[in-house]
Every structure is written in C-alpha cells, then in structure tokens.
Structure 1
C-alpha cells in the first residue's frame, strides 16, 4: 500500500476508523481506490434510497402554510420516486391537516383520480386562502371581539342575577 494510504489511516477517528478497520485485507489496492471507497461511504451527496411508503411521513407542520406544504409534499414525492398516484392522494389527504380543503377536493364525487387534478385544485384553494387570509383574519378578530363583548354581557347579566338573588336572600333575612 502506498505511503499516502498509511498516513491517511492515522488521521481516521470514530466511524471512519471503524469502517477502515472492517475492510478486508486486499480490498484497497491504491490511493485512488481508497479515496473512491472512502468518498462512497462518507459523502454527504450520497443518494438516500427511499421506500415509497416514506411519503406517508410527509406531514404538514403546525406553522406551515398550505401553499408551502403543497410545494414540500410534491418535492418529497419527486425525491422518493415511484410513488403511485393512489398513495400520493391518500398520503396528501391524511397529512395536509386542512379539513376545508379536503371537503373542497372530495365534494360529492370523491377526490379526483388524477394526481395533477388534485394538485391543481389544492393549489387554487391555497392561493384563495392566502389572498383571503388577511380578510379572514380581520373577520376572526372581529368575531373574537364580538364574542368577548357578548361574554361580558352574559357575565354582567349573570352577575346581576346573582346580585338580585343575594339581595332577595338579604331582604328575606331582614324581614324575619
């Protein structure tokens, strides 16, 4: 073995050292061979082999917009490769966490059979949600304010009733 190979092995620690020690005698014949095998073992660019069922693990995060999730879901589906349209539809439906979108997609006839039709409808819904989001947020804020005001009215009515009940109890105790 070349001098470079011997010097290189002295620098190895941890997983690299364990990998090198497990190599059989004669498996490495030159510096080029060592470099190639080392790179194959420890390269960050090494392609991860995915199972098509991994698409089921692509779940919408709590703080993720619908539009961002659709983009990420499609990208993951492409990275995994070989995922059937039926599995894509099932995984998307399960993991999108947006009941309104699912109701919109399924309608009376169920979810579209073609994945492209599902994505076209989902993207359209996401764009609509995004454009209406500010208006919906304003409406939600108004509804929260109205609920709070109504809650105060209810609590003030409740407190009046309690006060009247307490006064009646007090008045009846005085009459005795």
Structure 2
C-alpha cells in the first residue's frame, strides 16, 4: 500500500511525499498518520447549519446553478439536518412557479426536493426548446432566450 499510495497524489501531496526522508516510514499506518498530521492544518473548519440561510438564488441565477451552489455549500456545513436543508433551500428560491409547486406538494426529504427540482428544470428546458424551435418559423430569426409566457402553467402540470 505504501508503494501505491504516491500514485494517487498530485500537487502538494506529491511534493510532500517526495520530500520524505528515505526509510523514514516503516508501514502504512505511519504513512497515513504522517500525511494527516501534515495536511490536517490546511483543512477548513466546518460551518454551522445557519450558514445555509445566507445561500440565496440570485435574481438572474438559474435553478440549476442554485441547486449546484446550495449542494456545494451544504457540504461545508457540519452535521446538517434534512429539515434545515429543506427549509433553507426553499427560503432561498426566487422562482415563484417552483415555490408554488412545492407548496402544493411539499417534499419530505432533501432527496425528494432535488428530484422535484430536476423535474422542474427538465420541464423548463423542454419548454425553452419548443419556443426556440417555433420562433424562427414565426419571426424568421433564431434566439437563445426562451419565451417564459405560459411556462408556469405547463411546468406546474409536470410537477
């Protein structure tokens, strides 16, 4: 294991390993302990769960981007409860249609919330594709911006 360990390292970890004095490590337990002692100081302390209250969807931020950012921020939090995640995620949403959909059929877990968000994003993408496909025929030009009129009702039906 000591011989295969360096093949998994890159950057600072690889540099640290190559600078170890020859024959200074006798077994894998010593190697892993030395590695942890050296790099544990570089770890960021975990945040408290109330940090998630500060994570809000930007005015022009897509739901996909918000979900990705919220999930990344959740990994920074120590021992976060599922109910706290659900509450703070919903509190940070800007999409009225999605909030209405959640109010009608509230998810019980964060996994259910992410599944609903995925369905909502898929519906948005499908509607945008239809609008983009129809637009050149009507106006003689193509656009990348989807027409959002009527999308709330169609998305609501999907969710």
Alpha-carbon RMSD: 2.6
TM-score, normalization: structure 2?
Answer: 0.53
TM-score, normalization: structure 1?
Answer: 0.49
- Distance in 1, Cα, partners of 2:63 & 2:92: 11
Q: How does 1:5-154 map to 2 (within 5 A)?
A: 40=41, 45-107=42-104, 110-133=105-128, 135=131, 137=145, 139=147
User: What is the CA deviation profile of residues 66-123 of structure 1, one whole-angstrom value per residue up to 9, with x for unaligned ones?
Assistant: 111111111111221311111111111110111110111221xx51211111110111
Unaligned 5+ runs, structure 1: 1-35, 142-176
**Moved >6 Å (runs of 4+):** none
- Distance in 2, Cα, partners of 1:140 & 1:125: 14
Q: How many residues align?
A: 99
Structure 1 or 2: more helix by fraction: 1
Higher relative contact order (CA closer than 8 Å, sequence separation 6+): 2
Larger Rg: 1
